[in-house]
Structure 1
Amino acid sequence: MAVRLGLGLPQMRQYDLGRDVPDVARAAEQTGYESLWVFERVLFPEPATQGLYGIPGLPWPDQYRSVADPLVTLTLAAAVTERARLGTSVLVAPLHVPFQLARSLASLDAASGGRVIAGLGTGWSLDEYAAAAVAPFERRGKVLDELLDVCRAVWGPDPVAYEGELTTITPSEVGPKPARPIPVLLPASSPRALRRLVDRADGWMPVGMGAGKLAEQWREIQELAGERGRTAPFQNVLRVNTQHTPKAYEGQDRAPFQGSVAQIVDDLAAHAEVGIEEILLDLQGRARDAEELKDLAAEVYEAARAAGI
């Protein structure tokens, strides 16, 4: 069976949110993309307290200077599409009040006819935490755990009741309910995060790190699932942040998914062999505008399908 392909929606500052998100979403669905995705960045610190991904000295990319709200972006896409699933990759859970986020996701799922995929993570930016988090950075894992509990409660049958550190829900009716159980996907690397993934999530959301490393992590997750008695299958969606170049990248230091369309497709094929079910392609960063993004998305899709992906 061919790998499902998804596309990252335009959220960066070179795009017109109200015009380009619906335009790209419609075009992607018509091209054949089976899912549409958003990510979350809430600010661009100058200077940053820490480097990108928490790596000292690694600069934040200019594209992060303005990133549209992920749920607003998905709502715009939901209104003009019929089939494509609508995913977050990822929402930084501690930047949201758990009850409100659970309700927003439920409403979007109800409105879209059951198309939401909730990718949730803990984030890494100390500056984003200082500005917007509901709890300190050191408690990020506990916040994610509570959010998962709150989502399960809010999305479940009434009356809803919950008592946690951040959230208290007295017995209440809370609606609308999702159209179907919303799958929750988590990235994971640390031992604690891997246990949370195996015990509490519907699936795994890794990033394109090289096929060898991806295969190693996938084996680790499957082994842990066996050890902890998990029998439910895992969904998985690979996030691919591309660095497209018009010509082939000829340097020996080429990173995965850097280079021409042909090179990107070669990397897609290698990663798909690991056992990945769905690949999210984020192509927006180097596109100058929505027309270029749509053309590139169509070219990559057609090349990938021609290669048997």
Structure 2
Amino acid sequence: MSKEFRFGIVAGMAPDAAAWTATARHAEDLGYSTLLVPDTLGTLPPLLAMTAAATVTTTLRVGTFVLAAPYRNPPQLAHELAGLDFLSGGRLEVGVGAGRPAAEEDARALGMPYGTAAERIAQVRTVISEVRTAFAGTNAFSKSTVQRQGPPIMIAGAGPRMLALAAEEADIVALAVQADTTEEGLRGPIGTLRAAAGARFDDVELSMNLLQIGDEPPPWVPEGLRTPSAEAAAILRGSPREMADTLLRRRDELGLSYITVGGFFADALAPVVELLAGS
């Protein structure tokens, strides 16, 4: 049975605090399910940004897109996430990964070792374990968490090792594919995940981030990437009804039901959110 559609905004920048909290309220007003914050040194610190967003909203869930495990202290991170779950009233989701291509530079700036790919994947597993332990713990603070079973865990990945970990541990899997990947190209990582997850696959929520809505790319995309293939799955074009039909077909054929998009396109995708969210 197909999962209900959810939509999320990915954002991590604002000119001031008032603009940031306005972004959160606007996302909620438009019907988005989540506000997801990247984990980079060029964007707002994710846990602080999520806390601010949670305090000015009532239904919007807040999450990370995604925490870089290599430069996090897992027990401390788990404690802080438990606090964020409490402050948000149980609206926390936790995305974690082994580090995007530029994460090694950020880790160096933070004075943290980056490690090999295998070491970083092991760190992702450790973070997940510590988060679940903290939420199920018996100390005074752990008992105050709202999501006692732990927050939904998102793992971002496309390679076989990350997908194997996601098959074991993730509630949500974000396909971290190249921007020009076609729908046909999505079948490979989804098939890998399905094979690794077995019967558990039906319990996993599949997610994809859209790079562009309509014909104009976002202003931050480098010139060399401004003309991706017309077949790129990360670009959604057409009328709201046509875009909705594309997403419905992808859900039927690929299982993709959780769609995220950069905050720049929040208003452009909003008519599709209105058509599909919760259906």
Cα deviations across residues 179-210 of structure 1 (Å, max 9, x unaligned)? 11211111233332222111222221114643
Is the CA contact (8 Å cut-off) linking 1:89 and 1:119 kept in structure 2? Answer: yes
| Aligned residue identity for 1:220 | T
Asked whether 1:199 is paired with 2:168, we answer yes
Greater percentage in helix: 2
- Name the SS of the counterpart of 1:32 in structure 2: coil
Matched residue, 1:241 = 211
Shift in CA distance, 252/120, structure 1 to aligned 2, threshold 3 Å = closer
The 1-side partners of 2:122 and 2:4 are apart by 37
For the aligned residues, what is the CA RMSD? 3.1
Query: SS at the partner of 2:206?
Result: strand
Does the 8 Å contact 1:261/1:299 carry over to 2? no
Structure 1 partner of 2:223: none
- TM-score (ref. length: structure 2): 0.78
2:183 to 211, 227, 244: 211
Partner of 1:135: 113
Return the letter of the residue paired with 1:155. F
Q: Letter of the aligned partner of 2:184 in structure 1?
A: G
Give unpaired runs (5+ residues) of structure 2: 218-225
Aligned residues: 255
TM-aligned CA deviation for residue 265 of structure 1: 3.2
1:306–1:110 CA distance, 2 compared to 1 (3 A): closer
In structure 2, give the amino acid aligned to 1:128. Answer: D
For 2:59 and 2:170, the matched residues in 1 are separated by: 24
The question of whether the paired residues in 2 share the 8 Å contact of 1:94 and 1:140 is answered with yes
Q: CA deviation at 1:114?
A: 0.9
Q: Deviations over 1:88-109 (max 9, x none)?
A: 1111111111111111111111
1:265 maps to which of 243, 247, 250: 243
Residue pair 2:64, 2:94 contacting (<8 A) in 1 also: yes
Paired with 1:230 and 1:133, the residues of 2 have a C-alpha distance of 38
Unaligned residue ranges in structure 1 (runs of 5+): 43-65, 160-172, 285-295
| Larger gyration radius, structure 1 or structure 2 | 1
Matching residue's letter, 1:8: V
Taking only the aligned residue pairs, the percentage that are identical comes to: 23
Aligned to 1:104: 80
The two structures have a TM-score, normalised by structure 1, of 0.71
Aligned to 1:28: 27
1:178 aligned onto 2:178? no
